[in-house]
Chain A
């Protein structure tokens, strides 16, 4: 019997190690392939310039895409924060009935599941109906719409983990609902919310379909919010479609930049989350 129990124990540990290995190998494999294919094109000139190749006339620098993506994802997530965090805070029993909260939660879950191309199409329709061309603003609004359900649901989950006794403590001292939510629940949930925001940023910066019709593409750096802007995912897509060694290598180099940004954002979110949890109740 004991031997059997030991076998079961070893089996599950072995399975976990195998799964973990698959995950690690996949990540390292993707980074490795992208680096191997794109290494030749990685250069400072590529990151910081907008130069064109004198031979083919193709763009060499991808500064427009890096800056464009940063604007799009940063702006989109910032706008989504302004909607999602108050929404998550108000979707509490303090303010709304259980039925309303459930109904909104279901709607948010459905919105989360909608493919981003649909958001892109809706954004495009809105732009068309306003007689506007694809622009940075269009991309930001579309990415914000895409991020709201992700961020709101993640923030709601974090808030639901705040111990009920913490609310009681605050109410017991004569705090109002808003004081309890803003000074206690929000503070306790803040580290988790930082993660939620970074999660949304990661999705927004990597999304292609949502910005394809709405942000357009431009070889230049956007000077105004109404101009079209390049983004990394679309640059990768265009370059992969192009013939020629250089364009292909650049596509992988751009992919590496995108992965690198996501890794950095993830590391920053972890550090931020740890910092913010200094005062939280464990």
Chain B
């Protein structure tokens, strides 16, 4: 279980400051919803947590994002193990160009996880899970557990070898979740993970998030206030790159301190 804290984080896209000094402690084992109107920097904040921001051109980041006290922006930080700790769900899920099984097994394979490491991830997800000394069996077992945890197993157990791209978009998003769990992620980051999904798929993802929040910190960006109300334990409200207010969901939704937060929650501002 990792603890995340963000200190004086500034992000500049092509010289324009899009995050203006964010200070935030992310509570452990809870669902944190980042809300705010379009263009307020929600996604930038989320993508700065696993340094996916760097894939864009001309980005400058100052300040720190600390995971268990280690600054991920330290030039010596190990980007690979850092990203491994954080499962990432994008707005539109993208399955890897391989089978359903290989999508989930991708992480353990690239990280060259041996049978013991695979068993350890499986046990952390499901204490009653089978363990095997044989790497192949252990991997098959882990794939099953991850798919069960992501709520997808029953729908795909008969066709694990078929292309992941043939799944429906809702199934693909749950596959993304399973894929993230398989590397032993300790935190799940979701960038509006249900925005491309139909109501039933949305409900399924939300249910999985609820179930997983007892084990993981889940940080999700959402522009749907009702979703934040349904899911969040903790809410972060942003506006024009600034963190306006944050606190337990109940407090933010029922008695926000800032006028801007109140207006946003009442729907007077979008």
Contact = CB atoms under 8 A, between A and B. Distances in A.
A280 B55 contact: no
A103 interface: no
Contact of B165 (A169, A173, A282): A282
Interface string B74-110: 0000001111101110101011111100000011001
The residue in B97, B107, B111 that gathers the most chain A C-beta atoms within 10 A of its C-beta is: B97
B224 interface: no
A174 B94 contact: no
Given A166-B94, A169-B90, A282-B165, A174 B55 contact: no
Nearest to A168: B52
Contacts, number: 83
A184 interface: yes
B176 A174 contact: no
Contacts of B87: 172-173
Given A279-B99, A281-B95, A282-B165, A173 B106 contact: yes
A158 to B, nearest CB: 13
Interface string B128-171: 00000000000000000000000000000000000111000000
A188 B90 contact: no
B22 interface: no
Interface string A161-189: 00111111111111110010001100110
A168 B83 CA distance: 11
A131 interface: no
B90 A168 contact: yes
A98 B86 CA distance: 29
Nearest to B51: A171
Contacts of B52: 168, 171-172
A281 B165 contact: yes
Contact of A184 (B50, B92, B96, B179): B96
B50 A172 contact: yes
A281 B97 contact: yes
A227 to B, nearest CB: 43
Given A279-B163, A282-B165, A173 B95 contact: no
Contacts of A170: 96, 106
B180 interface: yes
A165 B97 contact: no
Contacts of B95: 281
Contacts of A188: 97
A6 interface: no
A183 B94 contact: no
Considering residues B86, B96, B164, which has the most beta carbons from chain A within 10 angstroms of its beta carbon?
B96
A37 B55 CA distance: 59
A183 B179 CA distance: 15
A223 interface: no
Contacts of A282: 165
A267 B92 CA distance: 35
A168 B176 CA distance: 12
A163 B164 CA distance: 16
A275 interface: no
B94 A175 contact: no
Given A279-B163, A280-B165, A174 B97 contact: no
A176 B78 CA distance: 11
B45 interface: no
B109 to A, nearest CB: 8
A280 to B, nearest CB: 5
Contacts of B94: 163, 165-166, 168-169, 281
A5 interface: no
B183 interface: yes
Contacts of A174: 80-84, 107, 110-111, 183
Nearest to A175: B110
A279 B90 contact: no
Contacts of A171: 52, 55, 83
- Most chain B CB within a 10 A radius of its CB, from A167, A174, A184: A174
Q: What are the 6 tightest A-B residue pairs by CB atom distance, in nearest-first order?
A: A174-B84, A172-B88, A174-B83, A165-B94, A187-B97, A188-B97
5 contacts: A171-B52, A175-B80, A176-B80, A184-B96, A280-B165
